[in-house]
Copies of this chain bind each other. A is one copy, B any other.
Amino acid sequence: MATSTLNVPVSVDEVAILALIDARHEAHHNKDGEAVAAGYATDAAVFSLAPPLMYHGVDAAEKQAWLDSWEGPVEIESRDFKLTVSGDFAFGHGFLRLSGTKKGVEGKVDFWMRSTLAFERQIGGWRIVHDHVSVPFYMDGSLRPAFDLLP
């Protein structure tokens, strides 16, 4: 069993997993809810930016409705993503920049969040089995999300 933690792809599995992540971000750009959902295992444990604490899997219709709440494309840029593959399991973390314009909201949304992803080799290929994204919040009494941080 080979375990590697690298910034550049060196194995077939690493290439496949990085392509899965790229496809997810391309699907956001294209506002294609089905394509976003396709990267996730049915019972993936998702810890999202908004409540609830957890939901299971990504519903294509709900994702489509969310994508449609934006004017134009939803852009996701990935940085400093570290991937570890161990057998039929993989795990990675890094930063994602989300940018775009919400319908009916003035100004552009543009901030960095933390992303942790876990993957499992399933029939049909690698799938996301866990997705945890978050923005820290200031503990200065304001409790406001720290949308101004850069990786």
* A interface residue numbers (CB < 8 A to B): 1, 3, 45, 47-54, 82, 84, 86-89, 91, 93, 95, 112, 114, 116, 118, 130, 132-139, 143-146, 149-151
Contacts and interface: CB of A to CB of B under 8 A. Distances in A.
A28 to B, nearest CB: 17
State the oligomeric state as a number of copies.
Answer: 2
A82 B45 CA distance: 10
A3 B54 CA distance: 23
Contacts of A52: 136, 149
A58 B13 CA distance: 31
Contacts of A130: 91, 93, 116
Given A50-B138, A134-B136, 9 more contacts: A1-B1, A48-B136, A53-B149, A86-B86, A86-B89, A87-B87, A114-B132, A134-B134, A135-B137
B93 A136 contact: no
Nearest to A114: B47
B89 A49 contact: no
Contacts of A135: 134, 137
Contacts of A54: 95, 114, 151
Nearest to A105: B141
Contact of A132 (B51, B86, B93, B144): B93
20 contacts: A45-B82, A45-B93, A47-B93, A47-B114, A48-B136, A50-B136, A50-B137, A50-B139, A51-B138, A53-B136, A53-B150, A86-B87, A86-B89, A89-B91, A93-B118, A116-B132, A133-B134, A135-B137, A143-B145, A145-B145
